[in-house]
Chain A
Amino acid sequence: MTVAEQRVEQALPPVRPQSVDWLPYVLLLPTVVFLAVFFVYPMLQAFVLSFRSPDGALTVRYFQAMFRDTYFSSALRNSFLLTALIIPLQIFLALVIALLINTRFHGHAWFLFICAIPLGISDLAAGLIWSSFFTERGYLNLILQNLGVIEQPITFLTFERPAWLYGAIVATEVWRATAIVMVILVAGLQLIPKDYFETADVFGASGWRKLRHVTLPLLRPALQTALIIRTILAFQLFATVIVMAGRIVPVMAGEAYFQYGLYRNINLASAYAVVIMVMSMAITVLYLWLLRTKEAEAGRG
């Protein structure tokens, strides 16, 4: 018997229309709606509030007031400065820790846990913790006194010692947020197949060369993600600064907070929010452009 004898001769049955499966869209709808109301809408609203005067006319006077405000230029400068100091330190430290963990030494699981503790610590709590160290009756003074270096406590966190102020803030934020980058990098390292390292070994690559030519390039996507997220968040540093330095070190997010909470000036607060938003987008675009160009050069699709 061949196929021909099996064939049932029949009139062609009607073609079945392929139903559009609406199920995924229904499942996504709540998320989309929620994010639209609580993300997209406020973002637009921020623009509106910062450009509209109470009588409804479009105006730039809030932005003008903001630019003229003495705190503004300091806040902008400080936000950039702090970010520029914090990010490189964080990336470097996180990389060191991630590489250490990747060697899987005896007890590396505990090391991972210890280094991950700051993940659960807010910037407010971190500020409080470190201020217990730097403050007048804090432990830095205590240690120095117990070592016989000083007699009276030194006020480290004062506007007379700007280096100490910045240093303390940077130290606190690095201590807190390095864990976030570290976890991303550790995960990224684990995704790299061992074959790459073994191949490098077979070709006689030393530790440093392996790092430069194998590890780092393969880690680039993880690094990129970490860099973008951390830079944006570092730019928005808020509670740590206020706890440790009050308004002596103005920052953008802090100014938005004070404009709203202290001066009750919602339009000016919105103007600050808008600037932060624009800066965040600019940073993202910058990173994507910088890192994407390098990827194209490296010949990876």
Chain B
Amino acid sequence: MADIQLERVRKMFGKVQAVADVSLAIREGEFMVLLGPSGCGKTTLLRCLAGLERVDEGRILIGGDDVTDRPPGKRGIAMVFQSYAVFPHMTVFDNIAFGLRMQRAAAGEIQRRVDEGAQLLQIQQLLARYPAQLSGGQRQRVAVARAIVMRPRVLLMDEPLSNLDALLRLQMRSELKRLHHDVRSTTVYVTHDQVEALSLGDRISVMKDGRIVQCDTPDRVYDVPATQFVGSFIGSPPMNFLEGVLRASDGAVVVETGGVRLPFPRVPARAAAHVLIGIRPEHVTVDRTPEPGGIPATVVVVEPIGPQKLLTLQAGTSTLKVTTPVEFAVQQGQGVWLRFDPSRIRLMDPRTGDAIVS
């Protein structure tokens, strides 16, 4: 178990900057998620941590050791690959024992640790089989077991759940959470699935274009996104954004949009004229009759999605998505009024996308 320090790490592939000046401190025993869309650099960053890519600039420290120039085998890491990379020519037992054998552990020790790992992942009955005889989910467990028995200082996971079907993914996700609770290893986990990130991470680093845009607990990433990008990437359906104007009125601060003035409870850190109003779908109330502070909008689409209804609305030039209870009677083309929970409004600078902090 060790902490990780990434200091100003940079990695180029030819002319493309895959990782651009990333610094990150990960605590011992922490489950850190690297989240972002394809091409944001999260996998590259993970591979730099693993030693499978050489960084162009910067340093990597694991447990205080500078491992920047060390090969993967000498960093005290273990990795679970997206494709599992289970060795097809070895039995499950030999797969799991592989790293221990490379360390020249005693046969008794190997037997003990492999059994332990197999039990943790519930694959004891598969030890004599070959990977070709296993399902995808089973192979994934073998990959995880193979990494865990190494008792690594750092456990790295590259989208390990992506290749599983939806039901299995759900199941494995909770198992990974339980595993982390039992084993408590420092884990760095790469995913593009924001639900996975919110569920598993102690902290989430949201990445875009090779940089970490926000590094925070899941609650704060969800509630207080640092940029418009984070707001719209996290949450399903994502955060809504409307154009508005910030002004002072009668000694208080208001945000004006669609001809309606909304009281803004906090004082923004800087004066701004035009703003983007960010509000999550579940914090919008839909009224069939006009209410004070209600923004007029038209219903464009009504989608029943099981436990709720998902409405797509047009308010002025902005399109919003809002969830309502199933019983809410509403029709396509109907005019409605929207009220925002003022404490949940997040303001963004329309030019830079950054949050306007209070």
Contacts and interface: CB of A to CB of B under 8 A. Distances in A.
Let me know if chains A and B touch directly in the complex, using CB atoms closer than 8 Å.
yes
A15 B8 CA distance: 11
Nearest to B220: A1
B8 A13 contact: yes
A284 B162 CA distance: 49
Interface stretch (B53-61, B163-171, B250-258, B340-348): B53-61
How many A residues are at the interface, by size bracket? 10 to 19
A8 B54 CA distance: 21
Contact of A16 (B23, B57, B215, B355): B57
A13 B8 CA distance: 8
Given A1-B215, A3-B212, A13 B23 contact: no
A14 to B, nearest CB: 8
A15 B57 contact: yes
A10 interface: yes
Contacts of A19: 54
B349 to A, nearest CB: 13
B91 to A, nearest CB: 31
A7 B7 contact: no
Interface string B210-235: 01111110001000001000000000
Interface residues of B, number: 21
A8 B22 CA distance: 10
A146 interface: no
A19 B69 CA distance: 12
Contacts of A18: 54, 56
A19 to B, nearest CB: 8
A12 B226 contact: no
A10 B211 CA distance: 17
Interface in A58-91: none
Interface in B179-230: 211-216, 220, 226
A13 B226 contact: no
A31 interface: no
B216 A15 contact: no
Given A6-B23, A6-B24, A7-B23, A13 B215 contact: no
B8 A10 contact: yes
B132 interface: no
B134 interface: no
Contact of A10 (B7, B55, B220, B226): B7
A3 B215 CA distance: 7
A3 B56 contact: no
A interface: dominant SS: loop
Contacts of B326: none
Nearest to A2: B226
A6 B8 contact: no
B128 interface: no
Q: Is the interface of B mostly helix, strand, loop or mixed?
A: strand
Contacts of A2: 214, 226, 355
A18 B25 CA distance: 26
B58 to A, nearest CB: 6
A6 B55 contact: no
A8 B216 contact: no
Given A6-B24, A6-B25, A7-B23, A12 B8 contact: yes
B226 A8 contact: no
Interface in B3-24: 5, 7-8, 23-24
A16 B211 CA distance: 20
A1 B216 contact: yes
B59 to A, nearest CB: 6
A3 B211 CA distance: 9
Nearest to B23: A8
Contacts of B54: 16, 18-19
A16 B216 contact: no
Contacts of A12: 8, 57
B30 to A, nearest CB: 14
A13 B24 contact: no
Contacts of A3: 211-215, 226
Nearest to B203: A1
Nearest to B12: A18
B212 A6 contact: yes
A15 B58 CA distance: 8
Contacts of B213: 3
B120 to A, nearest CB: 33
Contacts of B212: 3, 6
A226 to B, nearest CB: 34
A19 B355 CA distance: 42
5 contacts: A1-B220, A3-B215, A8-B23, A10-B8, A13-B59
Given A6-B25, A18-B54, 19 more contacts: A1-B214, A1-B216, A1-B220, A2-B226, A3-B212, A3-B213, A3-B214, A3-B215, A3-B226, A6-B23, A6-B24, A6-B212, A8-B7, A8-B23, A10-B7, A12-B57, A16-B55, A16-B57, A18-B56
Interface of B: 5, 7-8, 23-25, 54-59, 211-216, 220, 226, 355
Q: 3 nearest interchain CB pairs?
A: A2-B226, A8-B23, A15-B57
